[in-house]
Chains A and B, each alone.
Chain A
């Protein structure tokens, strides 16, 4: 049971930042990584993106596919957001879809998580599943649960991530990455 889940990186936002760079903290020691963010507040009501880094640089352009669903806690109704290959910018993203801004709801402390698989393989694509909650709709007062599955359609080997809202700053939040399974 030793080393079942090992923290490899953490960052607490104490002064607003536009993005967070994990540095090169991923490696062959672990097959699977778990990302978690708690008590997140954003400047704008937007999604939070978890963008892979390869050879020390954050990826840009189109390189993946995304299936993204949300559920309103009050009604249980499911909807979809940004599915399909057209949303390739959203790889491992929208995990915090529509995290409300602090001005929209001062109590909007969102929770987001994602499990990233195959990121260290140079022959297989990388996949992830993610969840988020705490995204309160100020009109209906429903919390909004998001579930997202993504794939990077390249075999890039990741060495880190950049965490970035679609626009504006991250005003608050604690972020951590854990290595889950020893290679």
Chain B
């Protein structure tokens, strides 16, 4: 797992490949100021750090599927003696491990 400082360094390196960035202001696209670039680094670092720390929660929520879909899996598991639902949940957890 990366520290916030490590992520910030990666964002700064990435930014060099993206420059110049443009901001739409008063109907014009103007290049970012130094302050805008600094703000970009801070907000993107915050976003990537939060994704690293907590993104697995949202990804699991999405991949689990709806309650209806899971209940359907459980019904057919009970009818057929299979473990589709249990396997599905285990796979989602495996795909999106806690950091």
A81 touches B43 (CB 8 A): no
Contacting residues, chain A, for B58 (C-beta < 8 A): 80-83, 87
A87 to B52, CA, bound (A): 11
Contacts beyond the supplied A21-B23, A169-B22: 7 A-B pairs with Cβ under 8 Å: A16-B29, A18-B21, A18-B23, A58-B43, A79-B65, A81-B62, A82-B58
A122 to B5, CA, bound (A): 33
Neighbour of B46 across the interface among A21, A61, A82, CB < 8 A: A61
* A107 interfacial by beta-carbon distance below 8 Å: no
Chain B min CB distance to A96 (Å): 15
Chain A min CB distance to B28 (Å): 9
A136 to B18, CA, bound (A): 27
A86 touches B22 (CB 8 A): no
Q: What are 23 pairs between A and B in contact, CB < 8 Å?
A: A13-B24, A16-B29, A17-B24, A17-B29, A18-B21, A18-B40, A19-B24, A19-B36, A20-B23, A57-B35, A57-B39, A58-B39, A77-B68, A77-B69, A80-B58, A80-B61, A81-B61, A84-B57, A86-B57, A88-B50, A89-B47, A166-B47, A170-B24
